[in-house]
Structure 1
C-alpha cells in the first residue's frame, strides 16, 4: 500500500495540518487586532505634557545627572517610560523597544501627537523637549506584558518561526502516537481478515476487548467467522447427504444394469444406459469436488512445483499417446510455492484433459516464471471456441456445443473447478483463440 494513501498517514497529516492552522491563526490574530496610530486626545496630550514637566523637574533637582540618567531613573505613576530622540533620529536611550521604533516612522510631527496600541504596549508622542538648548522629541511607552502575566506567550508571539518549530516538535510525537493508536489495531484486524479469506477460520480475532468502534468491528468479524463456520458445517453435511442420496440410486442402477446384461445380453439400449450412468457419476463427482473447493477449508502448504506436476504431466503425455496425439511440455521450475496442492493439480489437470479431448494432433504446456507470478499456458490445435462464448466457458455447466459435450462426455464443470482454484490462490485464468485452437493461461502469484 502506498504510504500517502494509508489511513495512518491521513490521520497523522490531518492532525498535524490542524495544529499548524491553529498556530497560524494564533500568530495572525494579535497582528490583526493591532490598532492604527490615532491622534492623541486632549487628555493624552495633557498627560504627556505633565510627564515632560515632571522629567524637567527631576532634572532641575538633580543637575549632577545627565539627561540619559534622568530618563532611565524617571518613574511616573502611570508607569509610562520616556524615550528621547535627537532630530537626526538617534535615540538617547540604550535600549529602545520595537514598537517605539515602528511608531516613530509614522509620528514625527510634534504638532500632531499620536497614540498607538498593540499587544505589546502603548506608545504616545512625540512632544518637543529642550535640554541645554538642544531640541529633542520625547516619546512615552507603557509595557503591557506585566499586566497580562503571559510573558512566555508574548515572547513566542513575537517570534512566530520559533513558535511553529516548537509546535511541530511537540505535535509530531503526539500525532504519531495518536495515529499509531488508531491504525495499529486496524492492521491487526487486516491480517486476521486476510487469514480468514484464505480459509483459516480458526484465526483469533484481536481487539475484541476494546469499547470503541474498532472493538465493535472486531466483534462483528468474530460473529461473521462464527456464521461462516456454521455455514460450512451445514454445507459439509449437505454434501455428505447429497453424495449418499445420489450415489445410492446410482449404485442400484448399475446393479440392475449388470443383472440385465447378464440375463439379456449386451444391447444398444443397455450400452447407452451405461454411458449415461458413467456421465451421471462423473457429474456428481465433479459437482461435489467443486463444492468442496468452494466451501471446505483446506490447509495451505509449501510445495515443490516440479514435484507437484511431475506425475500429472507424465500421465497427460501417456493419455495423449493413447489417443494418437502429441503432448509437448517444458519442465516446471524447481521452486517452492505456498499453495493448496490438490487445487493446483486439479486446475491444471482439468485444462490439460480438456485440451487433449479437443486437440487435432498437438497439445502444448509451458510454464513461465516472472518476478511476481507463475504463468501456465496450455494450448491445443483444435477447433477453438466462438469469441462471443469465451467469457462464459468458466461458468458451471456452461456448454459451448451440446452435441460435442455429449459426444466427449463432458459435464461442463472442469473449467469452473479450474477458475475457482485460481481465484482461491489470488490468481486468474483466461482463454483466447489461437491459430488454430484454444489457448488457456493460468496465473498464480509467487
Structure 2
C-alpha cells in the first residue's frame, strides 16, 4: 500500500469505516433508554407508580418486533445514499423529529401525544438497529467482525449511558429540565448523521431478488447447516444469555434515582459508565482470540450476572454506600456488561450471511429482547413483593438458565459458524 492511499488498510477496508461504526453504535444506543429506563425515570418523577412504569414500557415493543419489517429493509433500496445508508439516514431524521416532539411535551398534560412520540422514537430506533447491524455484517469480512462489534458495542453503550446519564444530569438542572435533556439528545443524534455520510456503502452485496428470498432462504440455510438441534440451541442462547443484564436494567435507573440526586447520578453514570464500557470492550478484544469464543462467552456471562450483586450492596447501605459505592458498582457493571455484549454480538454476527444479514440478525436479537418484554408483568409483581434486594438477586440467578444452551453449544455449534457463507 502506497503512502498516497492512507484511506485504506492492507485488508482493503476503508479507514473511515471504523469511526463510522463507532458513530453508528452511538446513534443506535441513544433511542432505547430514552423510551425505556430514562423515560421511566421521567414518568416516575411525574408521579407514575412502578407497575404503571413497567406497563408503559411496552412502548419499546418495536425493538422486539423489528424482525417483522427487517425483510423490507433487506429487500428494498432507497433512492438516496444506497441500500444501507439510505435507510439509516431516514431512521435518524425520524428519531430527531420524535425526540424533538418529546422535548416539548408534558407527561401529565400531554400523556397520549407523548406516548405517540415515544412510539415513533421506538420504531425508528429499532429499524436503525437492524440496518446498522446489517451494514456491519455486509461491510466487514468474518475475521474483522469482533473488531467491528467492539466498536459498535462501545459506541452503543456510550450512547446508552449518555441517554441514561447525561439526560438525568441535565434534567436535574432547573434551568433545563426534561425538555432541555431530550432536546440535547435530539441534537446529539447529529453525530450519527455524520457517521452516515462518512461511512462507505458496501458495494459487493446484491439485494435479495424477492421478499421470500430475504426470509425463507436464510432460515432454510440455518436449518441445513446447523440442523434442527443446533438451530434450537442458537435460539435459546439468543433468548437467555443477556437476561441477567437486561432484566436488571429494567429498574436499575429508577432504583438509583431513589438513592442519589439526579444531577450527580447522571454525571457518574455517564463518566464512569463510559470508562467501564471502554475497559470492557478492550478486554473483550484482547481476551477473545486467546480464550476462544465459547469459553469467553462462559466467563463473560458469569461476570455480567454477578456484577448485579453490586446493586444489592447499595440497598440500605448494606455493603457500601455514598459516592464511592455508586462509582464502584457502575464501573464493574459496565466493564462486565461490555465484555458479555461484545462476545455475544460477535458470535451472533458470525451466523449471518451477507445480503440478508439485517433480517437474520434481527431475528436473533428479537429473540434476545423478547425475554425481558415477556417478563415485564411478572417482574412488576416480583419486584414489589421481594423488594430491591430480592429483585437484583433474582437477576443474578438468571445466569443458570442462560448457561444451559451454551453448555450444549460447545460441540453442536462451534464447528458450524465458520461454515456459514459470509
What TM-score bracket applies, with the shorter chain setting the length? Answer: under 0.3
Bigger proportion of residues as strand: 1
Task: Pick 1 or 2: higher relative contact order, CA cutoff 8 A, min separation 6.
Answer: 2
TM-score, structure 2 as length reference: 0.24
Max Rg structure: 1
Bigger proportion of residues as helix: 2
TM-score, structure 1 as length reference: 0.23
